[in-house]
Structure 1
Amino acid sequence: MSTTSGAYKIWYAAGDSVFYFLPVLLAFTAAKQLKVNQFVSVALGLSLVYPSIVQLGAKNITLSFFGIPVVPTTYTSTVIPILLAVWALSYLEPLLNKIFPEAVRNIFTPLFSLMIMVPLTLIVVGPIGGYISNWLATGVSAIYKAVPVIAGALVGALWQVFVIFGVHWAFLPLALGNIAKLGYDPLLPITATAVLAQAGAALGVFLKTKDEKMKGLAGSGTITALFGITEPTIYGVTLKLKGPFYCSMIGGGIGGIIAAMAHAVATSFTMPSLLALPTYLGKGFVGEVIGIAVAFLVSAVLTYFFGVKNDQPAKTTVKPIDPKTINPNHVYAPVEGTIVPLKNVKDQVFASGAMGKGIAVVPSSDIVKAPIAGTVSALYPTGHAIGITSNNGIEVLIHIGINTVKLNGKHFKKLVKQNDHVKVGQPLVQFDYKAIKKDGYDDYYQF
């Protein structure tokens, strides 16, 4: 596109306006964190980028504020000056609130806040912040140029650790400052490798895990991480399982080294993700792409082979009732098989506990036996359900399968009658659990 065309100018404004007026946005968010008046803070930020102030800075014209010289400085696209200014405001505002009565506080506190802070920022705070920004940008650039391997390894491996503790927000002003002062930033491309490493680790979990819930979390986490949103992936998948998080640190570190060695830089600020790739175009772009790909693949492969242990829940099996060890005070499982939580049963009446507490068993035997000694108090004609009341008043309901009442007794054979007195382990019902499952019914056995 021609830089003089109307379309270019309009879209450039859409992309650059936030960066140009960055002090205003930072004033708003800083005020929220420091709990000071956000509108006063925004007005303070706006004064720094006011057209006449910007023109004076560009022309290097020195103003006089009651005899005090105001150093000409341009504050568009800056970070540190407005942060320091709002921080200073957080001390001034409570002091003014104490001075002015509540009846006039809403008028005079904002008024005097601006009257004091705008000149104070232009005379003292702003220039100090500008010097700090220059020092930080120069220092980061020097370290990056001197030891890019170490910088890439540390940032790539530890970036998501910084995210967990919220420390990563301290690095973003550095990145913004680098772009404003140097025209580029070397940190953002490295952080992108760490983000894509999380996506790779989540993919490794998705491919390896047998747990349906974790597979769903890992699948969605892979997609969100590719587009820069890693918190659901970290807290829901990788950090929860620990191993994948360590694998992502290794992958991110290796990818960070590659990006740093290629001297990849970002020429505009974007949150690290696949969507940020256009901002890395230029010198080192190929190395950045390779670094991201390596971080993703290494994390995925390491996670698949080493990061996910056997996540299948341990199966509890039911053994046959031993007549020699029967305790009349115990309730025994009436069928052999594998126990599953009742909440996992695909019948909300049982899963919700509306029918009482209990368990479910995936049967490996075709005989239902009495779990307690007592009287057969309920026996459905279809044979799919039976109730027993113990000698001391305990009521137990045994339900074979889900919705198996629709079978009308098919695959069931009753071995007792209503009101029969039964002993622990006595056969009650014979059923063909394989045939029931073949007919399309879940073979869970609930009691």
Structure 2
Amino acid sequence: MNLKKEAKGILDAIGGQENIAAATHCVTRLRLSLHDESKVNQEELEKLESVKGSFSTNGQFQIVIGQGTVDKVYKEMTALGVGEASKDDVKSASAEKMNPLQKAIKTLADIFIPILPAIVTAGLLMGIYNILGGTGIFFDEKSLIEVYPQWADLANMINLIANTAFVFLPGLIGWSAVKKFGGNPLLGIVLGLMLVHPDLLNAWAYGEAVKNNSVPTWDLFGLTIEKIGYQGQVLPVLLASYVLAKIDIFLRNRIPDSIQLLFVGPIALLVTGFLTFIAIGPLMFGLGNLITDGLVAVFDQFAALGGLIYGALYPLLVVTGMHHTFLAVDIQLIGNTGTTFLWPILALSNISQGSAALGVMVATKDENLKGLSGSSGVSAYLGITEPALFGVNLRYKFPFVVALVSSAIAATVITIMNVQASSIGVGGVPGIFSILPQDWLWFLVGMAIVLALPFIATFLIAKQKKI
């Protein structure tokens, strides 16, 4: 491959160097902020040997090239005069072209993606605990630790380690959210941990305390405030983090550097704390319950329809970047009910896209496409679908449609059978470890659908089209 020629071809196809506001790259893609995306010649771009696909998302134009090659092409582009930029530079340039909805989605993504490794790790560990503590997996009506009690303490320790990320979830969100909003992230950690302080009534015990009329309260100058925590809650800490960050910025801009340590943190935390316990927390707690109760009611009353719609919509959400908003919904569901019925659909949708890509791999005689579809298919099986989506399935359209239909069918089946996940794990084949053990059978049925149906259908259509 003539890398210099490829770089020149990319520049020509995207409207020239003068059309680039900022350019960087990640592991597999060029990430460009363009002044005018209408100048891109998509047909000429995808004729290039190095280009495996391209798409526009969140104000960025991204070109899929592949691991090991993308950095070489980027270097050739910089040699041709394209200025090097960081990912933050590209994000800043891209944000100017976003509408309010895109900005809101990007904000949620920027908050939750940094804490995702901790949540996924916790989900996998909870899956191990589910295997050890689940009844009917190895023995009829008994768990492994009931038959072998010497394993009970090990299982208990695994459960403690796994639960930590969810018990102190507001601390993780507080750190990431305050950092995103421009405040001091350490204050965000303190804010999040404050909302789950052991002196507060645990949020999971709130319902029972209301029934028993035993909710503890504070009396602040005649104002009665419920003394409750916000374990597993997303919305209260998100809004509180925004308020904290804005107060922090306001104070830092007005208080001399020499005395900021004495005043900024204490004032910001005190004001935010009072506002949170008096207004933000109760309002957002109620709104979060309303959202989860509404979702649960819809899926209870119209299980087949709910599964069909979400299973079909999820790949489209990934294309637009809106899927990040549902991470918050999954976390809220787990916080309120202990399980989520949405996440299993996500896992099957990712597998479906991977199977379609592998169908292309087996059918095609093009060695470059065979390599791309094979590696991207395996990646999708492990929860990363973008290479399969943008590099293969959307490029040829029919694999994407086949995968979408297959995931909708599988989602309908598992939703009717009320398959639930106890946590968020790896959104692909390993996702079974996050499913409740009693639901494994029907999740495996759904997995069989998305492993076989998109692979076979895509293979047959690809052979007919001779791609």
- Does residue 242 of the first structure (1) align with residue 389 of the second (2)? no
Choose between structure 1 and 2: higher helix proportion: 2
Counterpart of 1:16 (choices 156, 163, 172) is 163
Higher CA-based Rg: 1
Q: CA offset at residue 283 of structure 1?
A: 5.1
Q: Does 1:30 align with 2:177?
A: yes
State whether residues 65 and 119 of structure 1, in contact with CA within 8 Å, keep that contact through their aligned partners in structure 2: no
Instruction: Report matched runs for 1:62-141 at 5 Å.
Output: 62-105=217-260, 107-141=262-296
In structure 2, the residue matched to 1:297 is 452
Report deviation, 1:257. Answer: 1.1
The offset of 1:282, in angstroms, is: 4.7
d(CA) in 2 for partners of 1:35, 1:166:
23
Q: CA deviation at 1:91?
A: 3.1
What are structure 2's unaligned runs of at least 5 residues?
A: 1-144, 207-213
- Relative to structure 1, the CA distance from residue 298 to residue 142 in structure 2 (aligned partners, 3 Å threshold; closer, same or farther) is same
Superposed, 1:39-438 pairs within 5 Å as 39-54=186-201, 60-105=215-260, 107-282=262-437, 284-306=439-461
Deviations 1:207-262 (A, max 9, x none): 11222122112111222211212122222222233221122111111111111121
Contact 2:376 2:385 in 1 (8 A): yes
SS at match of 1:49: coil
Deviations 1:104-158 (A, max 9, x none): 4455322211111122212211111211121111100011011112211121112
C-alpha change, 1:200 and 1:62, in structure 2 (3 Å) is: same
Q: Give the number of aligned pairs.
A: 312
- SS of the residue corresponding to residue 224 of structure 2 reads strand
CA offsets, 1:338-384, max 9 Å, x none?
xxxxxxxxxxxxxxxxxxxxxxxxxxxxxxxxxxxxxxxxxxxxxxx
How far, CA to CA, are the matches of 1:215 and 1:12 in structure 2? 42
Give 1:46's aligned amino acid. L
Q: Write the distance in 1 (CA, Å) between the matches of 2:302 and 2:272.
A: 41
Q: Name the aligned partner's letter for residue 295 of structure 1.
A: V
1:15-60 Cα offsets, whole Å, 9 max, x none, are 1111111111111222233232211111100111222235698773
* Secondary structure of residue in 2 paired with 1:70: strand
Residue identity matched to 2:179:
K
Q: Deviation of residue 93 (structure 1)?
A: 2.7
- TM-aligned CA deviation for residue 191 of structure 1: 1.5
Runs (4 or more) in structure 1 with deviation over 6 Å come to: 55-59
Contact 2:201–2:216 (Cα < 8 Å) also in 1: no
Matched residue type, 1:43: V
Distance in 2, matches of 1:269 and 1:24, equals: 18
Measured on the aligned residues, the alpha-carbon RMSD in Å equals: 2.4
> Is contact 2:339-2:421 (8 Å) kept?
yes
Residue identity matched to 1:47: M
Distance 1:212 1:118, change over 3 A: same
Tell me the SS of whatever aligns to 1:132: helix
Tell me the secondary structure at the aligned position of residue 52 of structure 1: coil
Report which structure shows greater RCO (CA 8 Å, sep ≥6): 2
Q: Give the residue type in structure 1 aligned to 2:344.
A: P
Answer whether contact 2:308 2:408 (CA < 8 A) is retained: yes
The 1:181–1:163 alpha-carbon spacing in structure 2 relative to 1, beyond 3 Å, is same
Q: Under a length normalisation based on structure 2, what TM-score does the superposition of the two structures give?
A: 0.62
**Contact residue 197 and residue 229 of structure 2 kept, 8 A:** no
Cα gap change, 1:52/1:299 in structure 2, threshold over 3 Å: closer, same or farther? Answer: same
Q: Secondary structure at the match of 1:78?
A: coil
Query: Is the CA contact 1:251–1:296 (under 8 Å) kept in the aligned structure 2?
Result: no
3-state SS, counterpart of residue 99 of structure 1: coil
The whole-number CA distance in structure 2 between the counterparts of 1:308 and 1:249 is 20
Unaligned runs of 5+ in 1: 313-447
User: What amino acid does structure 2 have at the position aligned with 1:189?
Assistant: P
Deviation at 1:173, TM superposition (A): 1.9
Are residues 283 and 257 of structure 1, via their aligned partners in 2, closer, same or farther at CA, if it must alter by over 3 Å? same
Return the offset for 1:194: 0.7
Distance in 1 (CA, whole Å) between partners of 2:225 and 2:431 is 39
Task: Compare 90-99 and 25-34 and name the one that shifted more.
Answer: 90-99
Q: Which moved more, 1:51-60 or 1:69-78?
A: 51-60
Aligned-partner Cα distance in 1 for 2:152–2:329 = 33
Per-residue displacement from partner, 1:154-194 (whole Å, max 9, x unpaired)?
21112122122221121122222222222221111112221
Cα deviation 1:33-88 (Å, max 9, x = unaligned): 32322111111001112222356987732123454332122312221211121122
| SS of alignment partner, residue 200 of structure 2 | helix
In structure 2, relative to structure 1, the CA distance for the partners of 1:107 and 1:168 (3 Å cut) is farther
Q: Compare 265-274 and 113-122 and name the one that shifted more.
A: 265-274
TM-score by length of 1: 0.65
Residue identity over aligned pairs, in percent, reads: 27
